[in-house]
Amino acid sequence: GEGRPWWKAATFYQVYPASFKDSNDDGWGDLPGLLSKVDYLHALGVDCIWVSPIFESPQKDMGYDVSDYQKIYAPYGSIEDVDTLVAACHDRGMRVILDLVVNHTSIEHAWFQESRSSKDSPKRDWYIWKPARYDSNGLRHPPTNWRGYFAGSTWTWDEHTQEYYLHLYAPEQPDLNWENKECREAIYEDTMRFWLRRGVDGFRIDTVNKYSKRTEYVDATITDPFSPYQAAPEMWCNGPRIHEFIREINQVLAPYSAVSVGELSNTPDPKGVLPYVSAKAKELDMVFEFSVIRLGNGDLFSGKYIYKPFPLSQLKSLTEKWQCFIEGTDGWTTVFCENHDNGRAVSRFGDPSTPELWRASAKTIALWQTTLSGTLFLYQGQEIGMTNMPTSWDITHYKDVEAVSFFAEAMASGDEERIRKTRHGLGILARDHARLPFRWNEDENVGFTTDETNSWMRIPQERGISVESQSGDEQSVLEFYRRTLALRQEHQETFVFGTHQLLDRENESTWAYVKEGFVVGRDGTEVRRRALVVMNFTAKMAPLMDVSRALGCARDEVRLMVTTGGKEEGLDDGALSAWEGRVYC
């Protein structure tokens, strides 16, 4: 068999480098800053660091628009800094993966510059160029009516060669043409192998299911009659050749035993996900599936930021779906509730309204995440319960291309209701929230940079959310993460590899599930290990279920493994306090 690869029980930690730690006082995080915090991450229990894009880029989309895959964006440091980081991690038994952004490049990439230079350029076909359509009045229109992820058309007109080019994201992010073999070879050689040879341990692969587009280039069905541009993910997600391309990627990674985690959006069906992560398919080790992290988002595309409240039962059943996905298959799953593209978990799934509720709910979120099967991904600042930006901040504090485009679109509509709802939705869901500077200490500059007025993102002035204020405080979110991450390792068979059974699924206040795994006993036989996770997802006391019944054992055999609350005795108290979570075994 496949045995157990290292990454299954590993804890990954995503670093968004611009916002992590600045070492040279320019208000922008950098690689030497990250290097100075490797010991912190090691002590937390992190096994692998995923670093969001650090490559040369005009930063239209925070580095997800790469203009040179082999150069480091100078404010991040140098290529030697990457080597030093990799070596420092390897010395500590940790690993490093980079972000591979190869659905598109920046318009400033040399490949695109060549491609747009003339219709006869040898690289013309490396991007997706199409002629205009003209209506009966002779007016020019894009080749299709597709709406991009950042609002507006997926097509931009190029005056020089009189054709449109495709971009699923910003106009400054033209899509590469994966149908072109030479282009694919260049991606494999110049981006992937270049970094693998330098010793990185693998990649988080951006937009992994969008490389094969449907080649018909036809209009999408009109789902938004008020817009000229229509959501069309079926035109570019999971296209006809996608599995062929991913298998090629796998062939590039295999000689280096490099790990891969693909970002798989618009694919909520387990049947659609399994081919990507089935061990025998030899495609990807794992993917990020978005059902949980998209909760609260409005309709796909134009409605994204019109917030849709959801009941706890929905969060439970989506979690259950991707837990049970791996039972009886040779696939694997990931566990995560934050990344750089979404609001903070405590502001979305928890309750930051008072310091007590903030702390209790951030800890219960930790318990939820660390007791699930799959590879766990934490996002920087999650471990100290970082929150969304203050609601008092106005729209000018949002920097992200997506937030800015969606708000501009709402403004242009002149529809007051839509503007109000978009502002509200951005307050919960915008990508900017996760991009606020990491809070190392209680100074005004939060220890991110020397002078807070320099910071590229404004720094909220709140107290208690920092590594310094939480370290050593047994009741803190940070110490709780340390503890449950250790428990997760100690009880891997139950939490990482065990089965998942959801109990009391209709209950909209408390969440309970049983994890069950097997360990080999002293006499070589298999011993069943069960754990019951119970969490109060409200600010009120909630009745506790019959624990011994749920675990299927006698009352005096029940043990409390951990609680987010203060008291460790709490076996017979029959109730969970506000946002309390416990594990019994």
Catalytic residues: 206, 263
Q: Which residue has the tokens 């109060």?
A: 536
Minimum Å gap between C-beta 53 and ligand TEU is: 9
CB 363 within 8 A of CB 477: yes
Count of other CB atoms within 10 angstroms of residue 321: 18
Residue from 47, 81, 285, 402 touching ligand TEU (CB under 6 A): that is 402
Q: Residue 207 or 212: which CB sits closer to ligand TEU?
A: 207
- Least separation in angstroms between residue 21's CB and ligand TEU is 20
> From residue 585, how far is each of 35, 168, 482 by CA, in Å?
39, 48, 20
CA neighbor of 62 nearest in space, from 395, 265, 293, 340? 340
Contact 425, 298 (CB under 8 A): yes
Q: Is 554 exposed, middle or buried (CB count within 10 Å of its CB: 0-12, 13-18, 19+)?
A: exposed
- Which of 64/407 has CB closer to ligand TEU? 64
Instruction: Determine which residue in the list 106, 260, 265, 484 makes contact with ligand TEU, applying CB under 6 A.
Output: 265
Residues 457-476 that bind ligand TEU (CB under 6 A): none
- CA dist., res. 476 & res. 353, Å (int): 17
Binding mask 218-257 for ligand TEU (x = CB under 6 A): ----------------------------------------
Q: Does residue number 61 form part of the binding site for ligand TEU (CB under 6 A)?
A: yes
Asked whether position 209 contacts ligand TEU by CB under 6 A, the answer is no
Q: Taking a C-beta distance cutoff of 8 angstroms, is the pair 212, 245 a contact?
A: yes
109 by Cβ neighbours in 10 Å (0-12 / 13-18 / 19+) ranks as buried
101 binds ligand TEU per the rule CB under 6 A: yes
Q: Tell whether residue 211 is a contact of ligand TEU (CB under 6 A).
A: no
Nearer to ligand TEU among residue 30 and residue 341 (C-beta) = 341
- Distance of closest approach, residue 41 Cβ to ligand TEU, in angstroms: 21
Check if the beta carbon of residue 203 is closer than 8 Å to that of residue 260.
yes
* Least Å from the CB of residue 573 to ligand TEU: 42
Q: Rank residues 33 and 174 by Cβ distance to ligand TEU and give the closer one.
A: 174
Q: Which helix or strand (DSSP H or E) is residue 325 part of?
A: none
Task: For the CB of residue 320, give the shortest distance to ligand TEU in the complex, in Å.
Answer: 22
The bridge status of strand 526-536 relative to strand 95-100 is unpaired
Q: Under the criterion CB under 6 A, does residue 336 sit at the interface with ligand TEU?
A: no
Neighbours of 253 (CB within 10 A): 21
Q: 257: closest CA among 203, 206, 208?
A: 203
Residue with tokens 């290292």: 6
CB closer to ligand TEU out of 124 and 147:
147
32, 75, 467 from 451: Cα distances, Å: 18, 17, 19
For residue 245, the 8-state DSSP code is H
563: number of Cβ within 10 Å: 22
307 near ligand TEU (CB under 6 A): no
64 binds ligand TEU (CB under 6 A): yes
Residue window 141-160: x/- pattern of binding to ligand TEU, with contact defined by CB under 6 A: --------x-----------
Q: Are 434 and 344 in contact (CB under 8 A)?
A: yes
Structure tokens at 217: 């280039």
Q: Is 175 in the site for ligand TEU (CB under 6 A)?
A: no
Q: How far apart are CA 14 and CA 338, in angstroms?
A: 9
To the nearest whole angstrom, how small is the minimum distance from the Cβ of residue 291 to ligand TEU? 12
Among 105, 207, 260, 375, binds ligand TEU (CB under 6 A): 207
The one-letter amino acid at 414: G
Q: Binding-site residue total for ligand TEU (CB under 6 A)? A: 12
Q: Pick the closest to residue 403 from 52, 62, 56 (CA basis).
A: 62
Q: Is 169 in the site for ligand TEU (CB under 6 A)?
A: yes
**Going by C-beta distance under 8 Å and a sequence separation of 6 or more, which residues neighbour residue 153?**
142, 145, 146, 147, 228, 229
148 or 517: CB nearest ligand TEU:
148
The nearest distance, CB 100 to ligand TEU, in angstroms, is 11
Dihedral, CA atoms, 212, 295, 285, 326, nearest 10 degrees?
-120
Single out the residue of 341, 351, 432, 493 in contact with ligand TEU (rule: CB under 6 A). Answer: 341
Where along the sequence are the contacts to ligand TEU (CB under 6 A)?
A: 61, 64, 101, 149, 169, 206-207, 263, 265, 340-341, 402
